[in-house]
Chain A
């Protein structure tokens, strides 16, 4: 089930909730992706620089530096700006999609997302290794 680690794509998951990280760990792991984690916006920036992920799943409500700020910082960095970022936001905050796109996010998923739907979104940017 797990793909070859050297061949698999790396996804940076920025998420402050351990349960949600666990779900994504299980989901992405089972889909054959390598997952690296960050718990807040600052870590996200550091991880993006050190790990050079192929895609970032960015939660918007984060401590320290929120998802919009982190996204803007990544998109300002010439070495990182090509990395696609999928914003993950809470359901009812209206105007989120517009704001996420303004901050530079490439796609947008509202919580609660179905795991199948999320995989499909990721698949738009990354070819799934299997």
Chain B
């Protein structure tokens, strides 16, 4: 496994284009195939050689057998001639004996390495012919002649020698057959081993090449996905010294550039938000003083307020408070954007939260003669979250509902789900068209139209509510259609840890 990966690493680091690597791999495979074919051919030729040798042996055996057969016939012929009286038989036997000499010459061609034995055979045969000719000549001369002891021994040796020749040839034949089958067996093993080795090598080659190409591609793809998700922290590690290595380097370079750009943008955005946060804080300080003095004046701390001055003073106060509300909204949102907005988590009572919101908006609803109701399931256990922020979110929704509803009712409802609470604010206002329902949760989105234009507001209430809800892990949405009122709802996990 380690060796294989080392090989992949080596192929990856080898400084050659991918095309060359692929070409080299294919060439190697072709070479393997050629070698496999050549081995097969060689094996075939060896087997063919063996069978040719076997055929030659067969010829030799046939020739030797013929010779043995002929030898026996000579012996028989000579003894028959010696027993008979007529000259014709005697002449025929002599002729046959001479004819046999040619047979021996013929055998000499096929005998091969048996020449020594064949030489002895010739010698024995020469002796035998000499003996037999002498015997036959004496017989012809009229002498009664029996086969002499000497001749009989010669004949005997002759027979044994020819037998020996046949036996040796047959033994050669058996050896040849054995060798042939051994050769065949060996060739089969060679071809099979070669094929197996070729197969394994091709597999290893394919694995190495594809790994050395696919791995970097996957690595680069993975990195690009992360970059798309906004994670610029890592670099592609590709050891290839080919097109893929170059590609990886480009990806890394691009990633660095993107990171720089992203960082700059983020810094700029944070600075802007920080500036807004500081700015709104600075704006609030004098405004707080103005409101404080105004309140003291209205409370008569500096003496009785003349009746004609009271109404303008109150107008100053209410406009000042409105301005403060706007500044606070901007401050909230810029703090959220600058990442300085943290939840202050503690246990809280849902009943008290809703009651607090109710108390804050009740005068506004009464002023517009709207019916304001709350419904909270009894016996809810204490929940955990940032009570002040959740109340702010709910207050923004209820405030909006009261602002935009001219007659009818505004209802605050809480429903307890499995692990989450759902806060809903239902009104009988003008409703919101489908196309606007997503837009209203974005910053500074106020719906165009005569109704909204007459209403004061920063246009940040819903955006802030949305952020608060999302920071709690909940979601916010609206169900509405024009003319049928609107229901704004958000969920908050029962316990935010």
Please say whether chains A and B are actual partners in one complex. Answer: yes
Interface of B is mostly: helix
Given contacts A17-B289, A97-B344, A112-B291, contact A91 B284 (CB under 8 A): yes
The interface residues of chain A lying within 8 Å CB-to-CB of B299 are 115-116
- Closest CB in chain B relative to A17 CB, distance in Å: 6
Q: Within 8 Å of chain A (Cβ to Cβ): is B138?
A: no
- Closest CB in chain B relative to A60 CB, distance in Å: 13
Residues facing A in B275-308 (CB within 8 A) are: 281, 284-289, 291-293, 295-296, 299, 301-302
**A114 touches which one: B286, B295, B388 (CB < 8 A)?**
B295
**A115 touches which one: B284, B287, B295, B388 (CB < 8 A)?**
B295
Contact A91 B389 (CB under 8 A): no
Task: Tell me how many residue pairs across A and B have CB atoms closer than 8 Å.
Answer: 61
**A91 touches which one: B293, B295, B302, B331 (CB < 8 A)?**
B331
Contact A26 B286 (CB under 8 A): no
Q: Within 8 Å of chain A (Cβ to Cβ): is B342?
A: yes
Given contacts A98-B344, A115-B295, A115-B299, contact A20 B284 (CB under 8 A): no
The interface residues of chain A lying within 8 Å CB-to-CB of B284 are 90-91, 111-112
Given contacts A27-B301, A30-B301, contact A92 B335 (CB under 8 A): yes
Query: In the complex, which residue of chain B has the Cβ closest to the Cβ of A16?
Result: B285
The interface residues of chain B lying within 8 Å CB-to-CB of A127 are none
Interface of A is mostly: helix
Q: Within 8 Å of chain A (Cβ to Cβ): is B444?
A: no
Contact A27 B296 (CB under 8 A): yes
Q: Within 8 Å of chain B (Cβ to Cβ): is A50?
A: no
The interface residues of chain B lying within 8 Å CB-to-CB of A92 are 328, 331-332, 335
- Closest CB in chain A relative to B42 CB, distance in Å: 88
**B301 touches which one: A26, A94, A97, A114 (CB < 8 A)?**
A26
Interface residues on B, range: 20 to 34
Contact B292 A115 (CB under 8 A): yes
Contact A94 B293 (CB under 8 A): no
Contact A19 B289 (CB under 8 A): yes
- Closest CB in chain A relative to B260 CB, distance in Å: 32
The interface residues of chain A lying within 8 Å CB-to-CB of B332 are 92
The interface residues of chain B lying within 8 Å CB-to-CB of A112 are 284, 287-288, 291-292, 324
Q: Within 8 Å of chain A (Cβ to Cβ): is B343?
A: yes
Q: Within 8 Å of chain B (Cβ to Cβ): is A95?
A: yes
Contact A20 B344 (CB under 8 A): no
Counting from the closest, the 7 A-B pairs by CB-CB distance are A19-B289, A23-B292, A95-B344, A112-B288, A30-B301, A92-B331, A115-B295
B→A interface (CB under 8 Å): 281, 284-289, 291-293, 295-296, 299, 301-302, 324, 328, 331-332, 335, 341-344, 346, 386, 388-389
